[in-house]
Structure 1
Amino acid sequence: MGTLCRFALLTLLAVAPATWAASPEQVPTVHGLSLYGEPGLPAGFTSFPYVNPNAPKGGSLTRAVPVSFNSTNPFIITGSAAAGIDYLGQSYLYDSLMVSDPAEIFSAYGLLASGIRLDPQRRWMEFDLDPRARFHDGEPVTAEDVVFTFNLLVEKGAPFFRGYYADVTSVRAEGPLTVHFDFAENNSPELPLILGQLPVLPAHYWKDRDFSRPTLEIPVGSGPYRIERLDPGRQIVYRRDPDYWARDLPVNRGRFNIDRLIFDTYLDDSVALEAFRAGNIDLRAEMTASNWATGYQGPAMERGLIGQLVVATHNPAPLQAFVPNLRRAQFQDPRVRRAIGLAYDFEWQNRNLFYSQYRRTRGMFDGSEMEATGLPEGEELALLEPLRDQLPPEVFEEPLPIEEPSDLRERLRQALALLEEAGYRVENDRMVDAQGRSLSFEILLWDGRMQRMVLPYVRNLRRIGIDARVRVVDPSQYQVRISQHDYDMIIGSFAQSSSPGNEQREFWTSDYADRPQSRNTAGIRNPAIDQLVESLIRADSRESLDAHARALDRALRWNFYLVPQYHNPGARIAYWRKLAFPLPFPDYGLDLDAWWVDSQRASRVEAAQDDQQP
């Protein structure tokens, strides 16, 4: 599963013969699940191991978001949802059935669910809801709410949900506080944890409302915060709920410590940086290398009021790439796709633009055991062999990583040779096909800052006669065009976790090539890729999952569907030192909800900020 999918699927402790059909009465009730074994924390644990369980409460935290919003419903494809109301897992507004522990690679524990039962053959599972669970209006959270939510998301939610829950064949309430899910045969091993991520919505609130339309009503949730104020397009403010029903549960102890969470919209990142330097923003994830190197210098940094962190995790490197739209004719030939990739000069870019802070990304699971290297062998080869006729011969004949000359001129010579093989020729400094049509495409951006990185790539493409152009549109127009697949090339990102699963369908498979707002932004339609994804989802051991991921990685890379760019060794966080955090950080995620405001530090910071005001 992805970033949005941090859990790894959790299997039950005992394995029974395939012929035995267990009943719920025969299956033990457990407090948590873990993929391929037992969860790391025992029943009765008091808190996640990385938190400060005695962290003080209070204070405020202001962050900037780069996109405006016009809805408080994040579960549909229309509208732009406000920050803090997430799809999956624990959000500020909605509780989920379970919550992951970012200190473990494959574990999750009950939140709304006080008990979990999983059939040893994974044909069904049940959740017992905590009888104390309440929505913000005081109504109890019931099994009917879970059933209602599941059906609502599948029937009227974004296409993502239908694929994510595709192996659930039925859901029903088994009494007021028990919900039962049945699974398809040969379902994904991670399916139980995927269901654990289900955000539960109140049926009594939504049953008479149109779920398919954006709304700016303040919805009823059950989570640790309530929406205090809503200024559409500009700001959303959350207030910590002192009566939150789950505030003392082990999964929440030491978390959600800050009283007010403020998300301000800044469409211009340079303005957001200045707002941070002025103290109007408290915490900032820095995405620009030059800003990280030079943008935080000044009196506040010299006085020790601003801190900078680079937080690494053990997850695969984030995958950011140029994404050609295969729905366009000019990108159908893999030789053309390989040629445009050769024009990307990461080494020059890193030296001249990025202060040598980045590393080149090569594949889908860079820097992990799931990354394909060398030639395929063992289980990976066994997975690829039946698909030999549907895959490029290089999959079996040439090792990874793909060797590329360090010299740009030589890479461009190779690109020209590939384009000539594909039927193109240079005519009047233009690359044209047999009919004299120019090879051209537009790179669509929503953030003008990215032009600095994209324009050198455009210049290299033009050196080999490709008419490449850049267009920057406002974020709202960009979202509409992405939803409608109306672009030649974009910069896309594909969040990968240490446990890839169902989300890979939406990234790479044919079923999602033409669905509005799907994450198959490349428009990939390849039966071999489809089969490798489905096989990966059903991998039944850690070793097998790694082999499946390597096979998928290899097949995708030799088809040249993406031009991978670069990644940072860790997340770059700048913060005002009124904020405190527990150390060490968890291995598989940065949990900002475990941070708190130190009141003494906050007083010093506020006094210093007052001193620097004109």
Structure 2
Amino acid sequence: MQRRPTARATARRIDRSEVSGRRWVIGSLVGCAALWAASEVFADAHDPVTISHGYTNFGELKYGPDQVLDYVNPDAPQGGEFSQWAQGNFDSFNLYTRQGVAAALSTIGYESLLISTADDPYGSYCYLCTTIEYPESRDWVIFNLRDDVMFWDGTFMDAEDIKFSFELPLEQGITEYRAVYSEFVDSVEVLDTHRIRFNFSDTAPRRDVVTWVGGTSAWSKDWFVANEVRLDQTSDAPFMGTGPYRLDSVDIGRQIVYRKDPDWWATDLPINQGRNNFETLRVEYFADSGAAFEGFKAGIYTFRNENSSLQWATGYDFPARQNGWVRVEELPDGSIGTGQGFVFNMNREKFQDRRVREAITYMVNFEWMNETLFYGLYERPESFWDNSDLKATGVPSPEEIAILQPLVDEGLLDAAILTDEAVVAPVSTTVDRPLDRASLRAASALLDEAGWIAGADGLRRKDGEVLSVTFLERSPQFDRIINPIVENLSRLGVQAVLDRVDNAQYVERVRGGQFDIVNASLGQDYEPGQGLAQFFGSAAADDSSRNPMRLKLPAADRLIEVIVGAETLEELTVATRALDRVLRAERFWIPQWQKGVHTVAYFDIFEFKEVPPLALSPIDNWWFNAERAEELRAAGVLR
């Protein structure tokens, strides 16, 4: 077998002095831009108003009006199929409710007022609008809408649709969203058919407001009303949208096919040249990654973003690869780390003692895992902002201390936060076996100190209760990872088990907080703002899909307010580092693993110009090689 190269290449770090603008998270993950051309007019002598094709809080936007994106091929051929896999099952196309399990790519057909590019981490650009207008105070924003945006049913989008689409999540959306954003808009005014104004409350964070309302997706008000559809209920089809792809066929729980709308209104926009090139997008569902890998080898689907180090290192020696029909590549990844890790359910009394959480962390021997299980492919996450200068390092800077000191003075933080280095996971020097004896001694001391004392049977008890830990999981792929941790915890005197359940049960138990420890990805973006309250804020902690650990930390709430109120890039950076430092010190998160490249495998029927730094999105900017696909079909490789 040909030896695979390792995936330890260092991700390219975004130089914040060279980029400007904002958020890859606005709109869809495949969103790009209509572009910037700004001038200022004056409502009166005291309130300058900017009219622009885009928005950024810092610096200048990358693109000008009517530019084609740098990372696409504007002459890419159209047609063909892109297919991928998903795990488990689904029973709904509504991602905006806690009911049911949403289908993969269920929002692929929705477009938003502002969208962003995969190479400008701070910029937002007009898409469903032609221009935006906002005063220096950002007390309001006006979107001048395009008059040619058409829904799939042939009706045209107008300002009433946007008003409806914005207000619906605030009325029927998930609790965590309503808890964070419900008080930020005083009113929404339809000024005319294609002109809408959002008036912000005094409490709305001014740095976030334009891009927040700019993320509004366009749904048809008439369709919702006529079909009596609610946002808080499951839906057997996507909502009426305006996007390039619409549902073509579905086999519930097994397969989904989306097809490009032949009448898509935005086909000829300069911003869309070289994008959305495939005729169909197909998703095949499998029970687990192992079954999905066998399906890939058999040509059932054609693209795989490999997340198993075992498969990556040992599994790609099969005929289609040997014959050159399948390509295996490590593509650059310059994005912020995913923040992947195990998280504790902080509502469980036993985990409310930091010493217990730290002791369990000691039993995860990443260095042994990486050497033995991961073939040296990974590095360990350290921060929720890895690969950026928002990451806290070393001891706090004087600027960080200035932010943290009041929280220490009020008793919200321990004084050690002012002098200690930023917390990282314990490093083991034992790589030949899962259990590091030094780590075992350190963990034992912590549990003894916390009052969990080992009895004659070896189990640790406090007030007659046995210290037990259950890892909730849905993927068999994690068995080989979690089982050694379970064994280590048993040696510590902790009654530990792995509870692997089906996808539907997993989703419901996580939503309902019925678990001890679960996987989570807590990675953030380059311009953190009010969205942090959904990940780390107290207000929505008991009903938040983004805060599975149920974190309720007053110091974090206060630091989020500081971040939201930051007016300069320097202020934002310092405050984010302070928050990162405080969150990591709480030890509610056991960092797992990450790599600095995308490890992908695909049948040799796709081409692309380059991988942009902030996102790998083949659906958005790759294209289909029909001639090569025909060769593979003739060879019996593709189904």
TM-score range, shorter chain: over 0.9
User: 2:23, 2:124 within 8 Å by CA — same for their partners in 1?
Assistant: no
Partner in structure 1 of residue 166 of structure 2: 150
RMSD value over aligned CA atoms?
2.5
**Which residue of the other structure, out of 223, 228, 239, is the alignment partner of 1:205?**
223
| TM-fit CA distance, 1:315 | 2.3
**Which residue of the other structure, out of 262, 270, 275, is the alignment partner of 2:282?**
262
Change (3 A) 1:12 1:323: farther
Change (3 A) 1:551 1:351: same
Partner in structure 1 of residue 532 of structure 2: 504
Partner in structure 2 of residue 492 of structure 1: 520
Partner in structure 2 of residue 316 of structure 1: 336
User: 2:83, 2:284 within 8 Å by CA — same for their partners in 1?
Assistant: yes
Partner in structure 1 of residue 500 of structure 2: 472
Which runs of structure 2 are paired with 1:512-523 in the superposition (5 Å)?
512-515=540-543, 517-523=544-550
- Given the two structures, how large is their TM-score scaled by the length of structure 1? 0.93
Matched, 1:395 2:417: yes
| 325-334 or 291-300: bigger deviation | 291-300
Which amino acid in the other structure matches residue 574 of structure 2? A
Partner in structure 1 of residue 374 of structure 2: 354
| TM-fit CA distance, 1:153 | 0.9
Change (3 A) 1:18 1:128: closer
| TM-fit CA distance, 1:309 | 2.4
**Which residue of the other structure, out of 531, 534, 541, is the alignment partner of 2:568?**
541
Distance 1:601 1:11 in 2: 39
Which runs of structure 2 are paired with 1:97-136 in the superposition (5 Å)?
97-136=113-152
| TM-fit CA distance, 1:44 | 3.0
Change (3 A) 1:381 1:184: farther
Partner in structure 2 of residue 591 of structure 1: 617
Distance 1:213 1:529 in 2: 32
Partner in structure 1 of residue 19 of structure 2: none
User: 2:423, 2:585 within 8 Å by CA — same for their partners in 1?
Assistant: no
User: 2:237, 2:247 within 8 Å by CA — same for their partners in 1?
Assistant: no
* Superimposed CA distance per residue, residues 558-589 of structure 1 (whole angstroms, 9 cap, x where no aligned partner): 11111111111122211111011112x21111
| TM-fit CA distance, 1:512 | 1.5
Partner in structure 2 of residue 412 of structure 1: 440
Change (3 A) 1:459 1:187: same
Distance 1:318 1:333 in 2: 26
Which runs of structure 2 are paired with 1:174-189 in the superposition (5 Å)?
174-185=191-202, 187-189=205-207
Partner in structure 1 of residue 265 of structure 2: 245
Partner in structure 1 of residue 54 of structure 2: 32
| TM-fit CA distance, 1:38 | 2.1
| TM-fit CA distance, 1:453 | 0.9
User: 2:39, 2:51 within 8 Å by CA — same for their partners in 1?
Assistant: no
| 299-308 or 12-21: bigger deviation | 12-21
| TM-fit CA distance, 1:480 | 0.9
Q: What secondary structure does 1:230 align onto?
A: strand
- Given the two structures, how large is their TM-score scaled by the length of structure 2? 0.89
Partner in structure 1 of residue 100 of structure 2: 79
Q: What secondary structure does 2:273 align onto?
A: coil
User: 1:15, 1:121 within 8 Å by CA — same for their partners in 2?
Assistant: no
Which amino acid in the other structure matches residue 415 of structure 2? P
Distance 2:385 2:261 in 1: 39
Change (3 A) 1:130 1:450: same
Distance 1:355 1:82 in 2: 33
User: 1:60, 1:597 within 8 Å by CA — same for their partners in 2?
Assistant: yes
Gaps of 5+ in 1: 87-91
Q: What secondary structure does 1:359 align onto?
A: coil
User: 1:94, 1:200 within 8 Å by CA — same for their partners in 2?
Assistant: yes
| 498-507 or 394-403: bigger deviation | 394-403
User: 2:334, 2:596 within 8 Å by CA — same for their partners in 1?
Assistant: no
User: 1:509, 1:526 within 8 Å by CA — same for their partners in 2?
Assistant: yes
Q: What secondary structure does 1:462 align onto?
A: helix
| TM-fit CA distance, 1:429 | 4.5
* Superimposed CA distance per residue, residues 230-270 of structure 1 (whole angstroms, 9 cap, x where no aligned partner): 22111111111121001111221110000011111111221
User: 2:112, 2:214 within 8 Å by CA — same for their partners in 1?
Assistant: yes
**Which residue of the other structure, out of 227, 250, 253, is the alignment partner of 1:230?**
250
Distance 2:462 2:91 in 1: 48
| TM-fit CA distance, 1:362 | 1.6
Partner in structure 1 of residue 17 of structure 2: none
Which amino acid in the other structure matches residue 355 of structure 1? Y
Which amino acid in the other structure matches residue 78 of structure 2? K
| TM-fit CA distance, 1:591 | 2.5
Distance 2:450 2:574 in 1: 33
Distance 2:160 2:503 in 1: 38
User: 1:284, 1:575 within 8 Å by CA — same for their partners in 2?
Assistant: yes
Change (3 A) 1:355 1:196: same
Distance 1:214 1:145 in 2: 21
Which amino acid in the other structure matches residue 553 of structure 1? D
Q: What secondary structure does 1:174 align onto?
A: strand
| TM-fit CA distance, 1:35 | 2.8
- Paired positions, count: 601
Which amino acid in the other structure matches residue 261 of structure 1? L
| TM-fit CA distance, 1:21 | 5.7
Distance 1:58 1:403 in 2: 47
Percent of counterpart pairs with the same letter?
Answer: 33
* Superimposed CA distance per residue, residues 41-96 of structure 1 (whole angstroms, 9 cap, x where no aligned partner): 11232x1111001100011111111131111222211121222123xxxxx21111
**Which residue of the other structure, out of 544, 547, 552, is the alignment partner of 1:525?**
552
User: 1:11, 1:36 within 8 Å by CA — same for their partners in 2?
Assistant: no
User: 1:235, 1:264 within 8 Å by CA — same for their partners in 2?
Assistant: yes
Matched, 1:333 2:353: yes
Change (3 A) 1:423 1:33: same
Distance 1:215 1:552 in 2: 38
Partner in structure 2 of residue 428 of structure 1: 456
User: 1:501, 1:537 within 8 Å by CA — same for their partners in 2?
Assistant: yes
Which amino acid in the other structure matches residue 131 of structure 1? D
Partner in structure 2 of residue 171 of structure 1: 188
User: 2:423, 2:581 within 8 Å by CA — same for their partners in 1?
Assistant: no
User: 2:40, 2:50 within 8 Å by CA — same for their partners in 1?
Assistant: no
Change (3 A) 1:269 1:415: same
Distance 1:44 1:268 in 2: 44
* Superimposed CA distance per residue, residues 438-471 of structure 1 (whole angstroms, 9 cap, x where no aligned partner): 1112111111211111111111111110111110
**Which residue of the other structure, out of 571, 574, 582, is the alignment partner of 1:555?**
582
| TM-fit CA distance, 1:316 | 1.9
Distance 2:554 2:604 in 1: 52
Gaps of 5+ in 2: 1-21, 430-435
Q: What secondary structure does 2:103 align onto?
A: coil
* Superimposed CA distance per residue, residues 526-548 of structure 1 (whole angstroms, 9 cap, x where no aligned partner): 11111111221222222222111
Distance 2:130 2:186 in 1: 24
Partner in structure 2 of residue 89 of structure 1: none
Change (3 A) 1:19 1:159: farther
